[in-house]
Structure 1
Amino acid sequence: MKQVQAVMFDWAGTVVDFGSFAPTSIFVEAFKREYGFDISLEEARVPMGLGKWDHIKCVGELPEVAQRWLAQFGKPMDTNDIDKIYQTFMPLQIAKVAQHADLIPGTKSVVDGFREQGIKIGSCTGYPRVVLNELLPAAKANGFSPDCAVATDDLAAGGRPAPYMLLKNMIELAVDDVKTCVKVDDSIPGITEGLNAGMWTVALLLSGNEAGLTQQEFEAADTERLAQARNKAKDAFAMSGAHYQIDTVAQLPEVIADINRRLAQGERP
């Protein structure tokens, strides 16, 4: 009987860094430092989940950002500009990512429970390898250490929304059936990545990029505030094709149980 063999997690906003603030806040800082150009945190969040060079490019292509850039510099953003912002972004991200390695509540107990069931733990990220290498030991010290971790620049084929990082996880984990794999992510490119790989996909509504709440805001929020944030994230994921939508990783065991039920009935993603 087919059962879930592996769960593949995103990092920021999924298992660490509640609200996905490490990358977004540093994008804002990098634009400001390199060019004295202001972007908002909300603008920085729009392409979340992509590799970071592509993320900068996509921010620059947002209509309001492109208009302000043209007004300030008299020309559209080009690849040289993207390179310069990326080169400013990278040292900042390397230096600060470990400061955002606190686990999202429920992560350790959920992962420990999966391992007791024989489920393998994979991961991939929009971070490049040099950043992921800083995050891995910090997360391990806090109780999360996946069996496999693939960075966006590890593969020549490229990162999200293509499926290659997930397929690399499958190879490294020796998982033989893609329909027994689950991708968990707080971003639309990450969900698309999972769908392109042929996996079950789970979108996280409140712990990640789309809601944009800090952990403190999440824990202090009343029912109405959480409903507003949840609805905002649901609107963002409405056309994503995600098989499941839950608030945080803490609710994931119920999803895995349901996927196991569906697999046993012969369903596939």
Structure 2
Amino acid sequence: MNYQQPQKLQAAIFDWAGTLVDFGSFAPTQIFVEAFAEFGVAISLQEARGPMGMGKWDHIRTLCNEAAIAERFRAARGHLPTDEDVTQIFERFMPLQIEKVALHSALIPGTLEVIAALRGQGIKIGSCSGYPKAVMAKVVELAAKNGLNPDQVVATDEVPNGRPHPAQALANLIALGINDVAACVKVDDTWPGILEGRSAGMWTVALTLSGNSAGLTFDQYQALPQSERAKLRERVAQDFAGARPHYFIDTIADLPPVIAQINKRLAAGDMPQAS
């Protein structure tokens, strides 16, 4: 039997916060600030955003590895942060996140229309997140009330390794019955999420004006002059440079033309691993 390259996309795998819901990805970032504060350690919203996209324990460990934050922790607690300290912060993070995720649960404009258009083309809808399963259950419940019901959801603690490893994206493909990674596109607003898709052998689409890197509310995005949007796109593109996304778009509303372009490239023999 000979290998047959896919001729069109079969699945799209979406991140959640900053991609489908919570335009500026505020739910996870603000809770990191609050969780650290309960241990007497001040971190900024910008610092909290740095490792966004990773599983939350790994995110906290990465923050604690930052020299400035580690020194603040030592000053407050008398020692540098250990894995036990990270676990204690994570255990405080969890109930705060579940409690407050509803405050940032609004769908990003265009989400339902884009999902419907993809399904109209026979494309299955997967999803994954840096949130653990307990938080994702609440996120999914709130999204369903707003009309969003993906075909598959994979939380970070349902696989051996979270982002930037490819396990969550690949778990989606297995569950959805997709027969080739090249027939899948990963859409994400964080560099670990793009690396996840890249490492899984998928097409990747990075969001520049919704999500973690831009950090805007939807109203701020709408009010931003075109000249400022252009500057922000350029800055965010630099944040993604090492992850090498195949495409950049502003928000999920801009995805359909990219899907059409990927399908043309697949039909012409292009593969995501080659570019």
Pairwise TM-score range, normalised by the shorter structure: over 0.9
* Residue 22 (structure 2) pairs with residue 39 (structure 1): no
Cα distance in 2 for partners of 1:177, 1:225 equals 40
Question: How much has 1:143 moved relative to structure 2?
Answer: 2.0
* Residue 26 (structure 2) pairs with residue 14 (structure 1): no
Give secondary structure in 1 for the equivalent of 2:31: helix
Note if contact 1:5-1:175 (Cα within 8 Å) is conserved in structure 2: yes
Could you tell me which of 91, 96, 101 is aligned with 1:92?
96
Note if contact 1:101-1:142 (Cα within 8 Å) is conserved in structure 2: no
Question: How much has 1:209 moved relative to structure 2?
Answer: 0.4
Could you tell me which of 40, 52, 62 is aligned with 2:56?
52
- Residues 61-100 of structure 1 mapped to structure 2, 5 A cutoff: 61-100=65-104
Per the alignment, residue 147 of structure 1 pairs with: 151
What amino acid maps onto 1:10 in structure 2?
D
Could you tell me which of 211, 221, 229 is aligned with 1:218?
221
Question: How much has 1:91 moved relative to structure 2?
Answer: 0.1
User: How many pairs were matched up?
Assistant: 267
Per the alignment, residue 237 of structure 2 pairs with: 234
Deviation per CA, 1:57-92: give whole Å up to 9, x if none.
111112221232233334211112111111110001
Question: How much has 1:140 moved relative to structure 2?
Answer: 1.2
Question: How much has 1:180 moved relative to structure 2?
Answer: 0.5
* Residue 16 (structure 2) pairs with residue 5 (structure 1): no
Per the alignment, residue 208 of structure 1 pairs with: 211
- Residues 23-38 of structure 1 mapped to structure 2, 5 A cutoff: 23-33=28-38, 35-38=39-42
Question: How much has 1:111 moved relative to structure 2?
Answer: 0.4
Deviation per CA, 1:104-134: give whole Å up to 9, x if none.
1111100000011111000011000000000
Cα distance in 2 for partners of 1:92, 1:262 equals 44
- Residues 188-203 of structure 1 mapped to structure 2, 5 A cutoff: 188-203=191-206
Unaligned runs of 5+ in 2: 1-5
Cα distance in 1 for partners of 2:241, 2:206 equals 10
Give secondary structure in 2 for the equivalent of 1:132: helix
Question: How much has 1:36 moved relative to structure 2?
Answer: 1.6
Could you tell me which of 152, 158, 163 is aligned with 2:161?
158
Give secondary structure in 1 for the equivalent of 2:204: strand
Cα distance in 1 for partners of 2:57, 2:18 equals 19
- Residues 133-144 of structure 1 mapped to structure 2, 5 A cutoff: 133-144=137-148
Sequence identity (%): 54
What amino acid maps onto 1:253 in structure 2?
P
Question: How much has 1:168 moved relative to structure 2?
Answer: 1.1
Deviation per CA, 1:2-31: give whole Å up to 9, x if none.
100000000000000011000000000000
Cα distance in 1 for partners of 2:67, 2:167 equals 30
Per the alignment, residue 260 of structure 1 pairs with: 263
Per the alignment, residue 176 of structure 1 pairs with: 179
TM-score (norm 2): 0.94
Note if contact 2:20-2:111 (Cα within 8 Å) is conserved in structure 1: yes
Question: How much has 1:161 moved relative to structure 2?
Answer: 1.1
Deviation per CA, 1:129-186: give whole Å up to 9, x if none.
000000111111112110000000112x221111111111111111111101000000
TM-score (norm 1): 0.96
Give secondary structure in 1 for the equivalent of 2:212: coil
Cα distance in 2 for partners of 1:99, 1:67 equals 32
Cα distance in 2 for partners of 1:74, 1:92 equals 25
Note if contact 1:126-1:160 (Cα within 8 Å) is conserved in structure 2: yes
Unaligned runs of 5+ in 1: none
RMSD: 1.1
What amino acid maps onto 1:66 in structure 2?
A
